[in-house]
Amino acid sequence: MKTLAIFGASGKTGQLLTEQALKRGFAVRALCRNRSSITLQHPQLNILEGALTLENCREVMKGCDAVLCVLGQRPSAMQPFCADATAMILQAMAAQDVKRIVCLTGAMVGDHNADARSWFIRQMVKLFLRQAPEVALDRSLQESHIAQSLTEWTLVKPPRLTDAPARTQYQMGESVRVTAFSSIPRADVAECMLNCLESTSAYKKFLVVKA
Ligand SMILES: NC(=O)c1ccc[n+]([C@@H]2O[C@H](COP(=O)([O-])OP(=O)(O)OC[C@H]3O[C@@H](n4cnc5c(N)ncnc54)[C@H](OP(=O)(O)O)[C@@H]3O)[C@@H](O)[C@H]2O)c1
């Protein structure tokens, strides 16, 4: 059985991802700030409660084959943290000899898929850069850390996330067009991340995914 370390398992996408990973037969180790925020119970789910420190990242990765990262800033928190957290996760991966990481960012992050953005989305990106430059920079830096790492990485970049039920149908690619109407259920993002995990064709790619 393969073991996954999940960062962000207490979040909306993280809970679905954890549930789906366990259903697929993976064992899951999750680091979270508050154990009670993960209600799921399963014999193959191991939760480590604690802050995102290098020591805790290393601890949670013990015996893991791959990392899934679905961390994201809570609306109530102003302090960007994703780039630093990701740098720490990558450092812990090197220390524990874990090579594979699939990380979720967003279709408006960075400029790798800029040509596939509609005019409206390009205006949204400009607004995002003006209104929250430190958050935009944080997520862009997060992607750079991963893309420059020596890991076998995949960046999954959805547009607007919804809580709709899974459709198990999505488009994924490096130049998938994103418009004002693009969205995807979190459940499908979770499925997509798990599908990417074992697909070598997803290595070292920025993949936009939408319903
Ligand atoms: N919302 C959208 O429409 C949209 C669109 C595209 C991409 N995305 C991205 O998709 C990802 C998942 O989104 P989501 O809505 O499922 O996320 P979410 O429910 O907000 O979950 C965020 C996760 O990050 C953790 N986290 C937040 N701040 C932290 C900190 N300072 N230290 C440690 N952990 C921290 C949370 O832990 P706690 O439970 O402890 O707070 C939680 O597990 C995010 O990266 C988001 O930016 C979102």
pLDDT in tens, 143-200: 999 999 999 999 999 999 999 999 988 999 999 999 999 999 999 999 999 999 989 9
Of all protein residues, the one whose alpha carbon is nearest to atom 42 of ligand 1 is: 11
User: Which CATH topology does 3-210 take?
Assistant: Rossmann fold (3.40.50)
**In the chain, where the domains are located:** 3-210
Neighbours of 126 (CB within 10 A): 10
d(CA 84, CA 24): 30
Cα–ligand 1 centroid distance for 173 (angstroms): 23
Please identify, by atom number, the ligand 1 atom nearest to the C-alpha of residue 10.
43
Ligand 1 centre to CA of 81 (Å) is: 11
Question: What integer pLDDT is reported at residue 99 of this predicted model?
Answer: 97
pLDDT given for residue 137 in this prediction? 96
Give 14 Cα–ligand 1 centroid separation in angstroms: 8
- Condensed to tens digits (0 to 9), the pLDDT of residues 23-71 reads 999 999 999 999 999 999 999 999 999 999 999 999 999 999 999 999 9
